[in-house]
Structure 1
Amino acid sequence: MAAAFATAPAMAADKINIKVGGYFVGSIAAVFDNDAGEGTTRAAAPAPIGLLQGQDQRTIRFGREAEIHFKGSTTLDNGVEVGVKFELESGERGASDTVDEAYLWVSGAFGEFQFGAQDGVGDQMPIVAPSPFLETFANDTDLDPLGAGDNRGAGLFSNTTAAVGAGGAGALVQSGNDGIINTVVDFSGDSDKIIYFTPRLAGFQIGLSFTPELEELSGDESFGDSFSGNNTIENIFEAGITWEYAFNGVDLGASFVYLTADGGVVNTNVNGTPQVIGNSAPDLEDWAAGASVGFAGFTIGGAYAVKETDASQFGVGTAQPRVLEDYKAWDVGVTYGTGPWTFGVEYAEANRDASINPGAVARNFDEVDLSAIVTGVAYSLGGGANVTLGYKYAEDEAVNREGSALFTEFGVKF
């Protein structure tokens, strides 16, 4: 970065002028949530509060996702562009207004650097199944009426960690949002990091990112201490590569991303005496591959992701056994656009298994076996305004539960 600035004098650059942008997406869904448990419950995760096993839940749900963006840049005399961006969350349910992403970037012939609270390359670079919808997908739960719900597990897919033993003792630490269908390696989130993207050459671009500590927020930490941090994931490395190529009206794309991270160390009190009891979080190794092709208004694409966790022993006898997790997910979709209309269908699956070392105390594990299909149509009203109408069906065979929803979205980008 210093070498890039030093390539030529940069004395007359204009100051950055900040522009305001963002979006608002609202949704209304009629939900038919059937067979809540049907005689089977997750390990230490019973049927959602207020529901009896086998009892149907039908309801109307409202949702919203909104952000305000503050963004600006300036070009120095040496041709290097310097910019900043801040993203203000709108105050979603259970959270106050907060700036969740704040970073700067420096770009030029050398590529682009980003630094600050920003998603890593595992989230920025992947190709996944195309969708006509704004926020309701088969492989995500931003505004999903059948998604993670609240902390009571009221959604069809209750995004809880797999329990290991009575009361959740020794709960399996997941590799990200593995209680849902997720084909994106987005584990590092908005934790402070440094990111680099190469220039695109012959259609190829490489991205790298490093996050020292999952919960580290520079001088404004909310967890851990300023040196190592407690109960965290550390040394998160992400690498990705994308390829783009167009010929005779055909657009091709492919992506591959890889993530590795070290489990952190937790300090705790045992009978009032501080003790280090070992790894509190697992070592992670995740990867995902995706591809897409576009022609004559059609876009076809999909992704496949593998996430593995190694929750090495905490070290307190057999009460905390060694746990291994293997999570796989995939999605595929097709959209067709003509004028202001876009039609589409998307299908996704996820499966998670956990295993335990033979010498440990017998435990129960939470298996995940999810599938979802979503289809519908979107219409562009112009001026950044869009409206969609769709249908989603999903099931979790591990707990014999299924649900469906009719939904509409309305959104504006500005």
Structure 2
Amino acid sequence: MKKILFASTALVAVALVGADAAQAADPIKLSVGGFSRWWVVGANQSSSYSDAVNARVGGGNGASGRLNSVGIKGDNEIQFQGSTALDNGLKVGVFVSIEAGGHTDETTDVIDSSYAWVEGGFGKVFVGTLKNGAALLHVSAPDAAGNFSEGGMATGNYAIQRPNAVMGLNQRTGYSASTNTTAIVTDNKAEKLTYVSPAFAGLTLGASYVPNATTEDNRNQGTDRAQAFGVAAGYARTIGPVGVKLSAGAVKSILSAGESLSQYSAGTQLSYAGFTLGGSYQLARNAISNSGNVANPVNNYTTNGIPTGAGTKFDFGGQGYDVGLQYATGPYAISFAYFHSETKGVKSDTSAQYRDHGDDTIDFYQASGKYSLSAGIDLLASVGYAAYESGLYDATAAGSTKDSLKNDGYYGMTGLSLKF
């Protein structure tokens, strides 16, 4: 696959500096767009978890220290993009999106995504920080408010708090974020080279190469040889009155210190007379070689019954799926969706009682609605239930430690979405 990507890049380079010395008819001019979404969120979380978390961190709002029940959550971006056509038929463009407030974790990169692209009869080649090909073509369960799976307020762990001990999909050693989506987004916005083919009879192919799959904005060649390779296929076609969307993808990450992560995804949507039924699945296999230099896995797993000899390999990974049904007519849309994941998790306690642990599990049930006031102006609403449980919960003695391994609760939110 790397050869295919390099060949595609070479093809673009030859076309750009060919014998005809292609020139742009006009310089690139940027247009401004983006979106602003704000939510008022209410949540009722487990009181035992709230007490345990506050007791563990040494304080809170009084002795019981309940977690906040109401919050304001935002997701905002300003986007700059532009393109121009060369006289040899190629198009060249750029895209930059800037986070514009609403994040309360104080860790979000100001530049959300930035890349350049070249497009021709061969397809489109991207270079920069964007999703990999498998994520770009991924199809998942529908949600009327665009508030489920990747980018959702609740599924992003912003409504019901995810316990630190619970591991979700798209995580690996050293990474704590749980994205709760079947899309393969483990490499996040790391710099990459991505190719997307032209659509042929509804079929589109994609591929990505990520030189460093662990970090974003990494300019240092260094010694970290973590890499990722991905391939994907998407299909979109209307057959009579039925709309069909299909996707399949695979990403292999070769990580440092004997760790590799293989992820496979698939999704489908069928639409008819305003109804859309869809779902998707991801399988992740995270293999680690116990060679003595894999710091976290060796320290966390060997006491839990994992062989300690050099060259020993063991696996922790997981799987997840979502399914949803949406109905849209005129300015209205309603939907119901369900998400479930189960992972082996990164076990942080080495006590003997944790040797026979279960999987970490995450569940979301969500109903959403949308009403379009005008083009680009929508009223949104979502209600749902979320549940997180660590695989260590049943093996843990009673008390605050046990209570901090499990949380669940109900949430409701209403919001306004503006696109410009």
TM-score (norm 1): 0.79
Q: Is residue 180–residue 370 contact of structure 1 (8 Å, CA) maintained in 2? A: no
1:79 to 2:89 alignment: yes
1:148 to 2:160 alignment: no
Question: 1:396, 1:217 → 2: CA distance?
Answer: 28
**What is the 5 A alignment of 1:363-382?**
364=354, 367-382=359-374
Q: Give the % identical residues.
A: 23
1:368 Cα deviation after fit:
1.4
Q: Is residue 213–residue 253 contact of structure 2 (8 Å, CA) maintained in 1? A: no
Question: 1:126, 1:159 → 2: CA distance?
Answer: 28
Q: Residue 27 of structure 2: which of 2, 6, 15 is its match? A: 15
1:72 Cα deviation after fit:
0.1
1:353 Cα deviation after fit:
2.0
More strand by share: 1
Q: Is residue 234–residue 246 contact of structure 2 (8 Å, CA) maintained in 1? A: yes
Question: 1:49, 1:142 → 2: CA distance?
Answer: 30
Greater Cα shift, 9-18 or 122-131: 9-18
Question: 2:410, 2:385 → 1: CA distance?
Answer: 4
1:227 Cα deviation after fit:
2.8
Question: 2:183, 2:176 → 1: CA distance?
Answer: 10
Q: Residue 402 of structure 1: which of 377, 400, 408 is its match? A: 408
Question: 1:98, 1:38 → 2: CA distance?
Answer: 31
Letter in 2 for 1:118: L
More helix by share: 2
Count of aligned positions: 370
Partner of 1:303: 280
Letter in 2 for 1:394: A
Q: Is residue 166–residue 388 contact of structure 2 (8 Å, CA) maintained in 1? A: no
> For 1:143-189, what per-residue CA distance to the aligned partner results, in whole angstroms no more than 9, with x for missing partners?
22x7535xxxx943235576xxxxxxxx9717884x45321101111
**C-alpha distance 25-49 of structure 1, shift in aligned 2 (>3 A):** farther
Partner of 1:196: 195
SS across alignment from 2:35: strand
Q: Is residue 114–residue 194 contact of structure 1 (8 Å, CA) maintained in 2? A: yes
> For 1:33-63, what per-residue CA distance to the aligned partner results, in whole angstroms no more than 9, with x for missing partners?
124449999xxx9699749999865611110
Q: Is residue 50–residue 66 contact of structure 2 (8 Å, CA) maintained in 1? A: no
Question: 1:4, 1:372 → 2: CA distance?
Answer: 48
Question: 1:129, 1:240 → 2: CA distance?
Answer: 18
Q: Is residue 148–residue 159 contact of structure 1 (8 Å, CA) maintained in 2? A: no
Partner of 2:7: none
**What is the 5 A alignment of 1:45-64?**
50=60, 57=67, 59-64=69-74
Q: Is residue 37–residue 47 contact of structure 1 (8 Å, CA) maintained in 2? A: no
Letter in 2 for 1:201: F
**What is the 5 A alignment of 1:1-12?**
1-5=12-16, 6=18, 10-12=22-24
**C-alpha distance 48-393 of structure 1, shift in aligned 2 (>3 A):** farther
Q: Residue 288 of structure 1: which of 235, 246, 265 is its match? A: 265
Q: Residue 228 of structure 1: which of 208, 223, 226 is its match? A: 223
> For 1:336-359, what per-residue CA distance to the aligned partner results, in whole angstroms no more than 9, with x for missing partners?
111100111111111112599xxx
Greater Cα shift, 308-317 or 51-60: 51-60
SS across alignment from 1:312: strand
Partner of 1:121: 133
Q: Is residue 31–residue 80 contact of structure 2 (8 Å, CA) maintained in 1? A: yes
SS across alignment from 1:189: coil
Question: 1:8, 1:349 → 2: CA distance?
Answer: 55
SS across alignment from 2:135: helix
Partner of 1:158: 163
1:255 to 2:247 alignment: yes
Partner of 1:182: 181
TM-score (norm 2): 0.78
Partner of 2:310: none
Could you tell me which runs of 5 or more consecutive residues in structure 1 were left unpaired when the two chains were aligned. 163-170, 266-278
Q: Is residue 25–residue 64 contact of structure 1 (8 Å, CA) maintained in 2? A: yes
RMSD, matched Cα: 3.3
SS across alignment from 1:407: strand
1:118 Cα deviation after fit:
1.6
Letter in 2 for 1:245: R
Partner of 1:413: 419
Q: Is residue 118–residue 193 contact of structure 1 (8 Å, CA) maintained in 2? A: yes
1:383 Cα deviation after fit:
3.0
SS across alignment from 1:194: strand
